[in-house]
Amino acid sequence: MKITAVRSIMGGIPIPGGGFAPAWWPGQVIRDLWFTVCVIETDAGITGFGPGGFRTGGWTGEAFIRKHLLGHDPRTLDIGALAEHPESLPMAKGNRPVALEFALWDLLGKACGQPVYRMLGGYKDSIKAYCSTGSVTDAGSHIDFAHNAIERGYRAIKLRMHRATVDDDLAVVRAVRDAVGDRLEIMADANQAQNPYWTRADALRAARGLQELGATWLEEPLAMHDAEGLAMVAGAVDMPIAGAENEYGMPRYAEFLMRGALDILQPDLEGCGGLLEWRKIAAVCEAYRAPCLGHVWNNGLVVVVALHASCSVPNAPYLEVTDDPFWPARERDLIMAEPLRVVDGMVQVPTGPGWGIELDWDVVRAHTTSEVVVRI
Ligand SMILES: [Mg+2]
Q: Could you tell me the distance, in angstroms and rounded to a whole number, from the CA of residue 341 to the centre of ligand 1?
A: 22
210, 238 contact by CB (below 8 A): no
Q: Could you tell me the distance, in angstroms and rounded to a whole number, from the CA of residue 64 to the centre of ligand 1?
A: 33
Q: Say whether both 235 and 370 belong to one domain.
A: no
Q: Could you tell me the distance, in angstroms and rounded to a whole number, from the CA of residue 230 to the centre of ligand 1?
A: 15
Q: In this predicted model, what pLDDT tens digit does every residue of 97-116 receive, in sequence order?
A: 799 999 999 999 999 999 99
Q: In this predicted model, what pLDDT tens digit does every residue of 266-302 receive, in sequence order?
A: 999 999 999 999 999 999 999 999 999 999 998 999 9
Which 8-state DSSP code applies to residue 30?
B
Q: Say whether both 90 and 179 belong to one domain.
A: no
Average pLDDT, the chain: 95
- In this predicted structure, what is the pLDDT of residue 89? 61
Q: Could you tell me the distance, in angstroms and rounded to a whole number, from the CA of residue 191 to the centre of ligand 1?
A: 6
Task: Tell whether the model's pLDDT for residue 57 goes beyond 70.
Answer: no
Residue 354 included in any domain: no
Q: Say whether both 79 and 13 belong to one domain.
A: yes
**Local confidence band at 346 (pLDDT 50, 70, 90 cut-offs):** very high
- In this predicted structure, what is the pLDDT of residue 70? 97
Radius of gyration of the chain (CA): 20
* Residue 84, SS3 per DSSP: coil
Residue 156 included in any domain: yes
CATH number of the domain enclosing 33: 3.30.390.10
**Local confidence band at 92 (pLDDT 50, 70, 90 cut-offs):** low
Q: Could you tell me the distance, in angstroms and rounded to a whole number, from the CA of residue 189 to the centre of ligand 1?
A: 6
Residue 84 included in any domain: yes
**Nearest partner of 8 among 53, 59, 65, judged by Cα:** 53
Q: Say whether both 107 and 73 belong to one domain.
A: yes
**Local confidence band at 220 (pLDDT 50, 70, 90 cut-offs):** very high
Q: How far apart are CA 30 and CA 28, in angstroms?
A: 7
Q: At what angle do helices 300-311 and 275-287 cross, to 10 degrees?
A: 40
Q: Could you tell me the distance, in angstroms and rounded to a whole number, from the CA of residue 253 to the centre of ligand 1?
A: 15
Q: Say whether both 256 and 187 belong to one domain.
A: yes
237-244 average pLDDT score: 98
Residue 190 included in any domain: yes
Residue 355 included in any domain: no
Q: Say whether both 287 and 314 belong to one domain.
A: yes
Task: Tell whether the model's pLDDT for residue 194 goes beyond 90.
Answer: no
Q: Could you tell me the distance, in angstroms and rounded to a whole number, from the CA of residue 119 to the centre of ligand 1?
A: 28
Residue 353 included in any domain: no
H or E stretch at 354: none
- In this predicted structure, what is the pLDDT of residue 14? 95
Query: Could you give the number of structural domains in the chain?
Result: 2
Q: Say whether both 87 and 161 belong to one domain.
A: no
Q: Say whether both 326 and 368 belong to one domain.
A: no
Q: Could you tell me the distance, in angstroms and rounded to a whole number, from the CA of residue 107 to the centre of ligand 1?
A: 30
- In this predicted structure, what is the pLDDT of residue 300? 97
- In this predicted structure, what is the pLDDT of residue 56? 59
- In this predicted structure, what is the pLDDT of residue 279? 98
38 is in which domain, residue-wise?
Answer: 3-113+360-375
61, 97 contact by CB (below 8 A): yes
Q: Could you tell me the distance, in angstroms and rounded to a whole number, from the CA of residue 318 to the centre of ligand 1?
A: 13
Q: Could you tell me the distance, in angstroms and rounded to a whole number, from the CA of residue 205 to the centre of ligand 1?
A: 19
Q: Could you tell me the distance, in angstroms and rounded to a whole number, from the CA of residue 267 to the centre of ligand 1?
A: 10
Q: Could you tell me the distance, in angstroms and rounded to a whole number, from the CA of residue 89 to the centre of ligand 1?
A: 26
Q: Could you tell me the distance, in angstroms and rounded to a whole number, from the CA of residue 340 to the centre of ligand 1?
A: 21
Q: Say whether both 201 and 228 belong to one domain.
A: yes
Residue 180 included in any domain: yes
Q: Could you tell me the distance, in angstroms and rounded to a whole number, from the CA of residue 268 to the centre of ligand 1?
A: 10
| pLDDT cut 70: percent of the chain above it | 97
Q: Say whether both 97 and 219 belong to one domain.
A: no
- In this predicted structure, what is the pLDDT of residue 90? 55
CATH number of the domain enclosing 229: 3.20.20.120
Annotate 168-205 with three-state secondary structure. Answer: HHHHHHHHHHHHHCCCCEEEEECCCCCCCCCCHHHHHH
Q: Dihedral (C-alpha) 92, 94, 96, 101: value to the nearest 10 degrees?
A: 170
- In this predicted structure, what is the pLDDT of residue 22? 96
Q: Say whether both 327 and 343 belong to one domain.
A: yes
Residue 188 included in any domain: yes
**Local confidence band at 365 (pLDDT 50, 70, 90 cut-offs):** very high
Q: Say whether both 221 and 99 belong to one domain.
A: no
150-179 average pLDDT score: 98
